[in-house]
C-alpha cells in the first residue's frame, strides 16, 4: 500500500531501527517506547488489522509469532515479555498495518492482561 507508514518502513523508504528481518517479517523498535524494550513485529504483506485475518493470510500471523520467538532469544528477553495487538478505534490502533508490540525489560504488571 503506497500510503501505508509500515509498508514504507518495510521498503526502507522511511528509516527505522531494525532488529529482525526475514522473507516474510520485519521488526523494528517503536519510535515512542512504552517499556525499556518495545519492538513492533509486522508481516511484509499488508493486512490492515486483526479483523482482516482469514484462512488465506493467517500464515503471516504464524510467521510473525515464529519471528517473535527468535527476537525474544536474540534480545535476551529471558525474564519474559508481553505481546499486544491493537485492532480498531476502541483499542487505539493508529497504524493500520497489522503489527504486534513486544514489550519487555521491566515488570509489566497484571492489569490489561
Which residues from 11-50 bind ligand 5GP, rule CB under 6 A?
16, 28, 30-32, 40
Using DSSP's 3-state secondary structure scheme, residue 55 falls into coil
**DSSP H or E run through 67:** helix 58-74
From the CB of 12, what's the least distance to ligand 5GP, in Å?
Answer: 13
99 is known as an active-site residue: yes
Q: Which does 28 bind (CB under 5 to 8 A by kind): Zn ion, ligand 5GP, none?
A: ligand 5GP
Rounded CA separation 29/45 (Å): 19
The DSSP letter of residue 5 is: H
Residues at the interface with ligand 5GP (CB under 6 A): 5, 16, 28, 30-32, 40, 86, 92-95
Amino acid at each position: 500500500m503506497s500510503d501505508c507508514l509500515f509498508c514504507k518502513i518495510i521498503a526502507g523508504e522511511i528509516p527505522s531501527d531494525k532488529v529482525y528481518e526475514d522473507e516474510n517479517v520485519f521488526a523494528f523498535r517503536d519510535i515512542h517506547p512504552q517499556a525499556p524494550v518495545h519492538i513492533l513485529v509486522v508481516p511484509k504483506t499488508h493486512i490492515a488489522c486483526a479483523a482482516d485475518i482469514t484462512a488465506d493470510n493467517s500464515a503471516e500471523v504464524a510467521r510473525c509469532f515464529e519471528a517473535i520467538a527468535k527476537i525474544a532469544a536474540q534480545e535476551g528477553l529471558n525474564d519474559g515479555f508481553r505481546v499486544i495487538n491493537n485492532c480498531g478505534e476502541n483499542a487505539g490502533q493508529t497504524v493500520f498495518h497489522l503489527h504486534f508490540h513486544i514489550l519487555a525489560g521491566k515488570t509489566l504488571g497484571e492489569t490489561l492482561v
